[in-house]
Structure formats: structure tokens, C-alpha cells
Amino acid sequence: MLVSVLRIITKAVMPQNNSGIVASAYLYFSVSAVLMVACVVGYNVVEKLPVMQHYKKVRTTTIEATYLLDYVHIDKENDALVVPKSSKGGKLDTKKLVSYRHIWKKIQGLALSVAFIYVVTLSIFPGHITEDLQSTFFGDWYAILLISFYNIADLIGKYLASHKIFTTENKVIAIGGSLGRVVFYPLFYLCLHGPTFFQADSVVMVVTFLLGLTNGYFTVILMVLAPKSVPLEEAEVAGFLMVLFLLLGLAGGSMLEWIWVL
């Protein structure tokens, strides 16, 4: 959203020549650098918040309780519980006990769905939208406005899902909705090659808005459902796998977008 706002401002205010483009680039990368520093600082600060410390303690206690139940045994001779200890500071090493394959079987549908979301999105946006779609009314503002519409919709979708205003915890709905986004391929094809109705600026903007809305909404739904689909001690690994497949989707979508533009 911030990038879109900056681009609209620089497009409206700065001269559209080499000096204006250079100034816009400096502004963009300066703001990006400030945001990156703020993220690093924020990440380190948030770990020290009481609420984060509380849930880290809850997670640690749950993990220890789970694995202790699995690994303690009774010493009948001394009538006592015996807990095996690892060589790492006398603490039970639980990391090696988490099976990636076991967790993958539980969340594979969710992980593949989040990858598919970004394959669809990145194969269309922003390359196809900015390179192929034209408007006689908006001119060179058209691509900027479409990108802004997408980013606004993506933000709204994430807000709706993360604030539980309109959400679901049904995996079938979440996976089905994510896979159903394949409908954007024929829709954008019609916007480019179809009847005059589909090539209208308003129709293209609505379809672009829906692309962003569903992208943000289903991304949050899937990323929330995956850690909830496994025991607490496996949630961190589940989250890691979801991020991995999100990145694979980004890479795959970018490659498809390049082929489509060509």
C-alpha cells in the first residue's frame, strides 16, 4: 500500500523525465531501507513483550510435558520416575524428535494450496496487468491504478481474515477457495482478448480487486490453519513448512508470468 501511495504521489508531483524517475527511485529505496530497519528493531522488541514471553513459556511447558510423558520410565527398584537427559546441558533434546514427514502428512493440503495461491497470483500480477492491459482513458496511469487496486484489496483480505471479521476454520473451504482461484486465468484472458464488455476499465479493475482480495484472505486463512492442525510442539515446524511452500509458490508464479508475458 505504501509503495502504491508513493508511486501515485511521485507520478503526480515529479516531472516524468530522467531526473524525476531517479528522484522517485531514491525515495522508494530510502523508504524501503527505513522500513527494513524498523522491522529488525520491531522483531527484537516484540520478543521482549510480556505477552510473547507468556506464550513462549506456555509452548515450552507443553513441549516438555508432552515429551516427558513419552520418555519417562519408572525405576521400580528405587520407586521413582526417571527422565533421560541429553548431553546438552542436562536437558531433553526435543528438536530431533519432531518428524517433518509426520507433520507434512497433516498439512500437505494447506501447504500446496498456499503455493498454488501465489502461482496463480504471480503468474498474472504484476507483469500481465502492467504489460498487456491498456486504457485509452487512464493512459499511463492505468497500470499504477490497477496495482493500487490490487494492494488495497490484498490488505482488506488479510484484515478480514486476521481480525476474524469474515473467516473460516474449515479446511475444505480454505483449500477449495484457494484452488478455485484458477478462474482468474480465463477471466484475465477475457479482459485481454475477450468481448468489449470484459475489456472495459471498470471490469478489469473489479477482477484485479478480486485477485488481491482472495490472495490476502486465503493466505491468512491457510497460514493460521496449518499450525492449528498439529499439536503445539509441532506448530513451529508446520509454520516453517508453510512459509517454504509460500516461497516456492512465489518462485513458480514468477516463472509462469515470465513465460506468459513472452
Q: In this structure, are residues 126 and 147 in contact, taking their beta carbons and an 8 Å threshold? A: yes
User: Per-residue pLDDT for 20 more than 60?
Assistant: yes
Percent of the chain surpassing pLDDT 90: 45
Residue 163: exposed, middle, or buried by beta-carbon count in 10 A (0-12, 13-18, 19+)? exposed
Higher-pLDDT residue of 241, 94:
241
pLDDT of residue 79: 47
| Residue 6 in grid coordinates | 508513493
User: Per-residue pLDDT for 220 more than 50?
Assistant: yes
d(CA 194, CA 163): 38
User: Per-residue pLDDT for 26 more than 50?
Assistant: yes
CA distances from 230 to 92, 108, 178, 239 (A): 21, 12, 21, 10
d(CA 190, CA 38): 42
- Reported as a single tens digit per residue, the pLDDT across 43-59 is 989 988 998 888 888 77
Higher-pLDDT residue of 96, 35:
35
Q: Using 50, 70 and 90 to split pLDDT, how confident is the model at 33?
A: very high
Q: What is the mean pLDDT of residues 175-185?
A: 96
Which range among 49-63, 149-163, 204-218 shows the weakest confidence by mean pLDDT? 49-63
pLDDT of residue 119: 96
- Reported as a single tens digit per residue, the pLDDT across 86-137 is 444 445 454 445 678 889 999 999 999 999 999 999 999 887 777 778 888 8
| Residue 32 in grid coordinates | 524501503
Which range among 59-68, 96-105, 158-167, 171-180 shows the weakest confidence by mean pLDDT? 59-68
Tell how far CA 233 is from the center of its chain.
Answer: 22
CA distances from 34 to 4, 28, 43, 80, 97 (A): 17, 10, 14, 57, 40
Whole-number average pLDDT of the chain: 84
pLDDT of residue 98: 62
Non-local CB neighbours of 165 within 8 Å, separated by 6+ positions: 159
Q: Using 50, 70 and 90 to split pLDDT, how confident is the model at 257?
A: confident
Q: In this structure, are residues 261 and 131 in contact, taking their beta carbons and an 8 Å threshold? A: yes
Pick from 261, 138, 171, 149: nearest CA to 216:
149
Q: In this structure, are residues 153 and 209 in contact, taking their beta carbons and an 8 Å threshold? A: yes
User: Per-residue pLDDT for 81 more than 50?
Assistant: no
